Amino acid sequence: MTITTTIVSAFISNMNNNRSTIEYINYGFNFLFTPIHKIIFIDESISEEIKESIPDNFKEYVHIISSKFEDCYLYDYKEQIIKFNIETDNISKDTLNYMCIINNKLDFIRKAIELNIFNSTQFIWVDFGIKHIDKHNTENNDFFCQSIVNLKNNIYNKVRIGSIWEPTQTLYDKYITEQKIYNQVIWVFAGGVFGGDIESLLKFDKLSKDMCLNIIKEKRNILWETSIWYMIYLENTDLFSLYNCDHNLSLINNY
């Protein structure tokens, strides 16, 4: 069987107020124009503009899907999240809407899998603005773009995801005891890149949705996606394949 890979990403306007829409799009272009198949969910207000900006020699690699915030599955539960109170030094970015978007990454992957336009067996999420982690090579994109393309060389039958902190039960117990898990980000996992085979990712998606909806029901709250995934990992370690990384190009290159 031929192994093929699809990159999945998304950009919904006005969700990350830490950067302007123009800045975010410019970051996205850095990996959008690479010869690897991609399904990208783009805000309906700019999706046609993005399509038209793709050079002819890259059009075969990119499928743009017009999307909007209201399409996210957590949008229908926003009114139930009445105890959202997180500790952050960036309140303009870490909003309730932003949390709904980052917890929709797996649903974007699910939709991409159902479409499977490129007949892929592997799917990899890459944040649309992932270029921002390339802090030491901002002028020359060749190495960054090749790193994106090289992702297709890695095949996994589990959820492949980068780990920053050691994912111990002791860490979880500490956060639960001190109630920090409900208002602080836990960087056991980096959320910008993860992937794997179809079966594993669909299972991960269901577990994530079940966890999110249970927290909304029981706590009237929602957490960072990486905190949700850490809680899932502790109960489903066999589902995951971890690799060491940080918020730099190791997130991509160590995949």
**pTM for the full predicted model:** 0.93
**Burial class of 161 by CB neighbour count within 10 A (0 to 12, 13 to 18, 19+):** buried
In the chain, how many domains are there? 1
> Residue 14: which region, alpha, beta or left (left: phi > 0; alpha: psi -120 to 50)?
left
Number of neighbours of residue 123 by Cβ within 10 angstroms? 27
Report the sign of the C-alpha dihedral through residues 241, 189, 229, 102, in that order: negative
Hey, what are 74's tokens? 């957590």
Given a cut of 70, the residues of the chain with pLDDT beneath it are 1-3, 16-19, 135-140
Distance CA 202, CA 195 (A): 11
Backbone angles phi, psi at 197, to 5 degrees: -85, 170
Distance CA 104, CA 235 (A): 21
Please report the pLDDT score of residue 138 as a whole number: 59
Please report the pLDDT score of residue 48 as a whole number: 93
Please report the pLDDT score of residue 209 as a whole number: 98
Of residues 52, 12, 59, the one with CA closest to residue 38: 59
Hey, what are 88's tokens? 């952050």
Please report the pLDDT score of residue 101 as a whole number: 95
Give the CATH number, domain containing residue 191. Answer: 3.90.550
Please report the pLDDT score of residue 1 as a whole number: 56
The residue segments making up the domain with residue 182 are 5-253
Of residues 191, 190, 204, the one with CA closest to residue 240: 204
Please report the pLDDT score of residue 2 as a whole number: 67
